[in-house]
Amino acid sequence: MPHFVIDCSSDILKLQNPAEVLQSIHAVAVASNLFDEADIKVRLNPFAEHYLVGGKQKPFIHVFANIMEGRTKE
């Protein structure tokens, strides 16, 4: 079962609706035909403070994909 974890600065969510971000990642995972849709997990972690990008607080978004090794679609 794949897990997609999205880390982003909170200002990203002023530009894009959080539900749309989650749905977009979910849709891409489904379109890959690698996973059963019911098994796909997507989470969003916004950061309002305590982050740096190049030494400054700049907008960022990063998607982590965690897939257990050795699993097949079957």
Could you count the other beta carbons within 10 Å of the beta carbon of residue 70? Answer: 5
CA distance 65 to 56: 26
In single-letter form, the type of residue at position 49 comes to E
Q: State the pLDDT at residue 1.
A: 81
- The ranges assigned to domains in the chain are 1-48
pLDDT tens readout for residues 5-61: 999 999 999 999 999 999 999 999 999 998 899 999 999 999 998 999 999 999 999
What is the pTM (predicted TM-score) of this model? 0.84
